C-alpha cells in the first residue's frame, strides 16, 4: 500500500521509511506541514502517518484541512505530545488513531492494519477469496490451506486487489502502491507480478479488463 510519512525528525523518518518499505509498502516522506498539505491535495495515499510538531505549520492544521476538503484518507498521528488534551485534539481534528513516541514498530503496523480494516468496513482481519486466504498481520498467503511463497511486491499487489473485491485497479494504481518517490519503476513490473501470482494462485484468480485494469472476485468489476 502507499503511505505518506510526515515527519521532520531525520532519524525517525529515515528509520520508519526503511522499516515500512521492508513491510512491502511504498513510502513517500515529507518533512514539513506545507509539503504535507501540497502532497495530500494532489496525490492519493492509503494512509497518512502524521507528526504534529512540524516546521511551516502544525500537523493538527494539516489534518483539519484534509477533513475540511472531505478527504477520508486514514490518518494516524505519531507524536511526542502525550498530554490528554493533545490526544483528544488529534482525534477530534480527524485522526483515526494516535500513537505516542517512542513506539514499537509492531504496534504501529498493527494499528495501520486496524485502521485500514475499519476504513474498508471489514470486521474480519483475514482477506479471503475462493481457495486463497491472505493474512495482513503475518503476511502469509495460503491456497487450499497450503502456504504460498510470495515476494514482498507480489504480496503488495495481491493485498491491494483482495482488499477491495471486484474493484478494478489500473496498472498505474498498482505501481503507486509498489513504488515511492525516487524509486525507479521497472517497466512491465506489474505484468510480471500478475503473471507470477496467477502461476502460484491459479490462472483465473486475478482477472483483467484489457487496457483498463485488474481485479479479484466475482461479479462485474467496478472502476
Residues near Ca ion, by CB under 5 A: 8, 51, 53
Closer residue to Ca ion, CB minimum distance, 70 or 102: 102
Query: Is there a cis peptide before residue 102, judged by omega within 30 degrees of 0?
Result: yes
- Taking the C-alpha atoms of residue 141 and residue 128, their distance in angstroms, rounded to an integer, is 10
Cell 510480471 belongs to 192
- Taking the C-alpha atoms of residue 117 and residue 126, their distance in angstroms, rounded to an integer, is 10
Shortest CB 51 distance to Ca ion, Å? 4
Contact 69, 43 (CB under 8 A): no
Closer residue to Ca ion, CB minimum distance, 81 or 111: 81
Shortest CB 9 distance to Ca ion, Å? 5
Shortest CB 101 distance to Ca ion, Å? 9
Q: Give, in order, the Cα–Cα distances in Å from 39 to each of 98, 144, 175, 197.
A: 21, 42, 18, 32
Give the nearest residue (CB) to Ca ion: 53
Closer residue to Ca ion, CB minimum distance, 8 or 61: 8
Residue 98, H or E segment: strand 97-100
Closer residue to Ca ion, CB minimum distance, 6 or 161: 6
Closer residue to Ca ion, CB minimum distance, 99 or 189: 99
Closer residue to Ca ion, CB minimum distance, 86 or 175: 86
Shortest CB 8 distance to Ca ion, Å? 5
Shortest CB 198 distance to Ca ion, Å? 44
Shortest CB 48 distance to Ca ion, Å? 15
What is the DSSP annotation of 125-160? SSEEETTEEEETTTTEEEETTEEE---HHHHHHHHH
For residue 184, the 8-state DSSP code is P
Amino acid at each position: 500500500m502507499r503511505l505518506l510519512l510526515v515527519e521532520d525528525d531525520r532519524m525517525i523518518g529515515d528509520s520508519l521509511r526503511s522499516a515500512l518499505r521492508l513491510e512491502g509498502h511504498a513510502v513517500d516522506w515529507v518533512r514539513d506541514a506545507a509539503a504535507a498539505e501540497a502532497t495530500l491535495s494532489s496525490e492519493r495515499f492509503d494512509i497518512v502517518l502524521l507528526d504534529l510538531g512540524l516546521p511551516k505549520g502544525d500537523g493538527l492544521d494539516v489534518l483539519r484541512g484534509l477533513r475540511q476538503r472531505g478527504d477520508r484518507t486514514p490518518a494516524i498521528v505519531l507524536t511526542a505530545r502525550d498530554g490528554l488534551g493533545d490526544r483528544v485534539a488529534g482525534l477530534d481534528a480527524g485522526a483515526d488513531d494516535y500513537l505516542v513516541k517512542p513506539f514499537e514498530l509492531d504496534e504501529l503496523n498493527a494499528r495501520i492494519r486496524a485502521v485500514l480494516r475499519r476504513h474498508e468496513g471489514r470486521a474480519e482481519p483475514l482477506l479471503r477469496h475462493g481457495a486463497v486466504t491472505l493474512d495482513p498481520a503475518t503476511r502469509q498467503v495460503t491456497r487450499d490451506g497450503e502456504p504460498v511463497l510470495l515476494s514482498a511486491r507480489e504480496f503488495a499487489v495481491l493485498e491491494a486487489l483482495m482488499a477491495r473485491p471486484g474493484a478494478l485497479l489500473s496498472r498505474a494504481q498498482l505501481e503507486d502502491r509498489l513504488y515511492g518517490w525516487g524509486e525507479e519503476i521497472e517497466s512491465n513490473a506489474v505484468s510480471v507480478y500478475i503473471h507470477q501470482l496467477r502461476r502460484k494462485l491459479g490462472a483465473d484468480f486475478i482477472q483483467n479488463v484489457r487496457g483498463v485494469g485488474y481485479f479479484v472476485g466475482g461479479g462485474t468489476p467496478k472502476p
